[in-house]
Amino acid sequence: MKILVTGGAGFIGSQVAEAFLQEGHEVHIVDNLATGKMENLPQAAVFHRMDIAEPEVVALIEKEKFEVICHHAAQIDVRKSVADPLFDARVNILASLNLVEHGLRNGLKKVIFASSGGTVYGEQVSFPADEAHSLKPISPYGITKLSFEHYLYYYHTCMGLQYLALRYGNVYGPRQNPHGEAGVVAIFAQKILSGEQPFINGDGKQTRDYVFVEDVVTANRAALAYSGSGSFNVGTGIETSVLDIFDAVRDAAGSKLERKYAPAKVGEQSRSVLDHHKIKSLMGWEPRTDFKTGIQKTVEWFKHKS
């Protein structure tokens, strides 16, 4: 198949693109390199440096007539979405609609969308959350992710577009960006390996569902092969606290740094964990990488990168 991977120079998108290439598909990558990196690009992919909101991407879609769009390009920083909801909506809703609208006019059959299980449910009332959990996001980022899922359902129902909205937990692993606010594993790994003291926001007992990037890639491969449509959690079903993250990264790095704390971030969710039984029953996917192994692989990558 001919596949467009948006955000394919990024942490997750580049590794998904590699997997699609290994399966023999023709892969094109669109990335504006705002956060993505040239070094992440698979050599066999066709790279187009452009923004998904700009007219150039329309011309590309009209020329190449992609069968599948695997959509990972996004504004991913929850705190930035709070600071600038308009920018967040322009990138995560309007630019995404730009892809689908023009794709459907040019032979698009399927969209695999990187959604967010960590934000679309809001403050959870049951643990772990399955896909039937109430959807009450408390950040503009979560709102935009859920909004685009609704648009995909509309395109599916009214226009026959097949879609898979993969609601990722907190993805971590090699190639994750340690700069900015996103990705506490990467932030801790980079700082601890350089001997810099990282700080734990609040009491560190807030939990998330941390899923290793290799397992997320496998979920995308399963989604590409799946003939149905819908929204699916991609997580481990295990809650891991920030304290657990700090200790695991510190131990893997062989550091003796002590825990140090900073004020809690306003509006931060206290707990988030995902039930993955739906994707397991329908696609046969489940996480294969245990937390300790994933942290070790991640820290080793950061060691060799530095």
Residues assigned a catalytic role: 141
Q: Which two tokens stand for residue 153?
A: 């359902």
What is the number of helices (H) and of strands (E) in the chain?
11, 13
Token pair belonging to 206 = 């807030």
| CA–CA dist 204, 72 (Å, integer) | 29
What's the Cα-to-Cα distance from 198 to each of 217, 224, 243, rounded to whole Å? 29, 38, 12
Q: Pick the closest to residue 166 from 92, 93, 72 (CA basis).
A: 72
The three-point CA angle 74-103-105 to 5° equals 150
Amino acid identity of residue 125, one-letter, is V
H or E stretch covering 29: strand 26-31
Query: Can you tell me the distance from the alpha carbon of 159 to that of 122, in angstroms, rounded to the nearest whole number?
Result: 30
